[in-house]
Amino acid sequence: MMTRKNIKRNGLLFLAIFFFLISCKNADQKQKGIIKKEEHTLAILPFTGVDSILLRKIKEGLQSKLSVKITQLPSAILPGHAFYKPRQRYIADSLLSFLGKTNNGRFEKIIGITTKDISTRKDPHENWGIFGLGSCPGEACVISSFRAGRNKVPGKDFFRRMVTLALHEVGHTYGLQHCPVSNCLMKDAEGKMNLDDGDSYCGKCNSYLKGKGILSENNTSEK
């Protein structure tokens, strides 16, 4: 005969089994990768002078390849302390720390975009002009349109170069090193214009990013 106490006890037992089953199901789903993967976030910060078309092209280009949530931040003035007067350039390394401070941990990664010339130390060169710089791995990267040939090549080529450059620097922040594959976008520029050599990650770089879960599902970049 069921007593009141029994009913209460059976009820608790039922609840315990119910939660046990639920937690098993979650573990199972996790194993099968059914549960939504951790969301990756990327902030785009345009420095003063970057026009809205360039910004949109870069944003669309990144979004078509990467499975990251992109947020566009309000534009910022280039920090004066990063300016290298003798060559009229901004030190990219200083821009990276500025970007890190501005981000303040809000987004997983942050990319700054500028139209001004940027540089870094590259031995034996004290001040070496570059397309972009990214911490590897790290939080911040910066790209410059100064050397990408705006008004020298057709607009569509200029925008493609800038997207390739953005993917290259973002790739560094996820830990991708320079790649020896000649048409991989992670190839080292080595002081030359290499932004026309390939606008995709090679198979190896592709699988690396896929493993990190930041490659878009419809990405068809294997070459």
- Which member of 73, 87, 181, 210 binds Zn ion (CB under 5 A)? 181
Residue 99 is a binding residue for Zn ion (CB under 5 A): no
CB 48 within 8 A of CB 75: yes
Q: At what angle do helices 52-65 and 155-173 cross, to 10 degrees?
A: 50
- Specify the DSSP element, H or E, that contains 44: strand 41-46
Residue 186 is a binding residue for Zn ion (CB under 5 A): yes
- Which member of 205, 209, 214, 215 binds Zn ion (CB under 5 A)? 205
Q: How far is the CB of 167 from Zn ion (least distance, A)?
A: 11
Q: How far is the CB of 122 from Zn ion (least distance, A)?
A: 11
Cα 166 from Cα 221, distance rounded (Å): 15
Cα 96 from Cα 107, distance rounded (Å): 14
Cα 78 from Cα 60, distance rounded (Å): 24
Query: Strands 69-72 and 41-46: what pairing?
Result: parallel
Give the nearer residue to Zn ion in terms of CB position, either 146 or 155.
146
- Specify the DSSP element, H or E, that contains 142: strand 140-144
φ, ψ at 114 (rounded to 5°): -135, 160
Cα 87 from Cα 110, distance rounded (Å): 26
Q: What is the total count of residues that contact Zn ion (CB under 5 A)?
A: 6
Residue 68 is a binding residue for Zn ion (CB under 5 A): no
Residue 179 is a binding residue for Zn ion (CB under 5 A): yes
Give the nearer residue to Zn ion in terms of CB position, either 49 or 129.
129
Give the nearer residue to Zn ion in terms of CB position, either 68 or 186.
186
Q: Which stretch binds Zn ion (CB under 5 A): 20-28, 37-45, 47-55, 203-211?
A: 203-211
- Using alpha carbons, select from 117, 150, 152 the residue that is nearest to residue 133: 117
- Which member of 96, 118, 130, 184 binds Zn ion (CB under 5 A)? 184
Residue 162 is a binding residue for Zn ion (CB under 5 A): no
Give the nearer residue to Zn ion in terms of CB position, either 19 or 111.
111
Q: Which residues bind Zn ion (CB under 5 A)?
A: 179, 181, 184, 186, 202, 205
